[in-house]
Amino acid sequence: MNISFSKHTLANGLDVLLHEDHACPIVAVNLWYHVGSKNERPGHTGFAHLFEHLMFEGSQHHDGGYFQPLEGAGASLNGSTNADRTNYWEVVPTNALELALWMESDRMGYLLPALTEAKFSNQRDVVLNERRQNYENRPYGLAPMAVLAALFPADHPYHWTTIGEIADLNAVRLDEVHAFFRRYYHPANASLTLAGDIDPDAALALVAAHFEGIEPGERVDAVRADAALEGEIRLRLEDRVELPRLYLAWLTPAMFADGDAELDLASDLLANGKTSRLYRRLVFDERMATDVSAVQNSREVAGFVQLVATAAPGHTLSEIERAILEEIARLGADGPTDEEIERGRVQAEAQFMFRLQTVGGFGGKSDQLNAYNIFVGDPGYFDRDLARYQAVTRTSIPHAVQRYLDPTRRVTLSIVPRGRLELAIPDSTAAVVS
């Protein structure tokens, strides 16, 4: 699992990671900023995701669309934002590497002179429309907002979704956006990886030529926050849906912390794939659900397990809840079988290998090097990350399940068709989303 690389840090604090691979005449340019929605604050949400859009709108020395010059050179490119980071990437033919570096450096160092009120207002409208499409007008789309708001207190950085809240997006001013950019989008808060058909010395010289003159900015302190559930929170939402759906969520350890790998594998063996325990019981054997899934959402400050099941016609969410809790209790008491442990380890290793098939894009070698560099300060964390899964045992999984998937400390959300509140889990109160 070792990926060869070299790490360099420019005088302004920019980390530069270089991975040489001459299999194809392409280079992946991958830039991470250590900023996400967790760096926002109540009443001022959605800024990080808004910048994902604004940074494709042009900078001082290229005041126009970001895609056209790079696509014209044969590149593919994209970007994304989550709670913990923002990333941008280009995969370019080898001879277009300098173009990609010039454009990335220009929007890092010279975005604000080109960030006008018109661009800002336009992209804010785009984000609000994206929110309507992906959350408000999508079946079950408000569930993430309701679950996060219940799991984390109002001042916790994971209380809101990355898209932000409507009132905050409508209220934000251009000067606030400028201040947010100056605080987080600078060399000392970024990591740049070049992977592919490069000469490392020449590539590092190109990076230095384009980025070293950018002001470093101030170091960003790590975000710290606590969350705890003292009991069960039962919520309900009415939506334009045909079938009721149940969401169960628990607070769990942060990314790479003790228990994170165990809960990742436990989620898989409970409800991911047709061989999982809950799929076999709920969907195949008893046919009380049309689908079921589970995931350990590993985040930098804290994690959460979320389990989702949609009721089949003629069956209730209470039936499904009861079956789910029985299977969780059984896993916590008896642990997994040797076959389940082995299958989980193999699946984990396969996922690692899948992410490393390409040099660029989401999840390629360049992206993974940056992820480890940003989150643990070591780009070569591959083997130690995989070793966490290899170290999971038949006793460590039930220990984690008993400790974290406590049925008395969870969020339970029922989403039911409009006008059918009786289909929700009993004693549920209306969820408030904004």
Alpha-carbon distance values, 56 to 79, 114, 323 (Å): 9, 11, 47
Pairing verdict, β 233-239 and 411-417: parallel
Domains of the chain in sequence order: 6-211 (3.30.830.10), 233-336+394-430 (3.30.830.10)
**pLDDT, tens only, 166-216:** 999 999 999 999 999 999 999 999 999 999 999 999 999 999 999 999 999
Query: Torsions phi, psi of 244, nearest 5?
Result: -65, 150
Residues 313-326 have a mean pLDDT of 98
Confidence of residue 251 (pLDDT cuts 50, 70, 90): very high
Question: CA angle, 361 as apex, 371 and 359 as ends, to 5°?
Answer: 80
Instruction: For residues 382 and 256, give the distance between their C-alpha atoms in angstroms, rounded to a whole number.
Output: 12
* Residue 179 and residue 186 in contact, taking contact as beta carbons nearer than 8 Å: no
**pLDDT, tens only, 26-47:** 999 999 999 999 999 999 999 9
**pLDDT, tens only, 88-122:** 999 999 999 999 999 999 999 999 999 999 999 99
Residue 254 carries which DSSP code?
A: P
pLDDT at 355 over 90: no
Quick one: CA dihedral 66, 110, 11, 210, positive or negative?
A: positive
Per DSSP, the residues of 2-61 read ----EEEE-TTS-EEEEEE--SSSEEEEEEEES--GGGSBTTB-SHHHHHHHHTTS-BTT
**pLDDT, tens only, 116-142:** 999 999 999 999 999 999 999 999 999
**pLDDT, tens only, 79-90:** 999 999 999 999
- pTM equals 0.96
Confidence of residue 434 (pLDDT cuts 50, 70, 90): confident
Dihedral over alpha carbons 206, 210, 213, 216 (to 10 degrees):
-100
* Residue 263 and residue 252 in contact, taking contact as beta carbons nearer than 8 Å: yes
Output the pLDDT for position 1.
Answer: 66
β partners of residue 252: 303
Query: Torsions phi, psi of 239, nearest 5?
Result: -150, 165
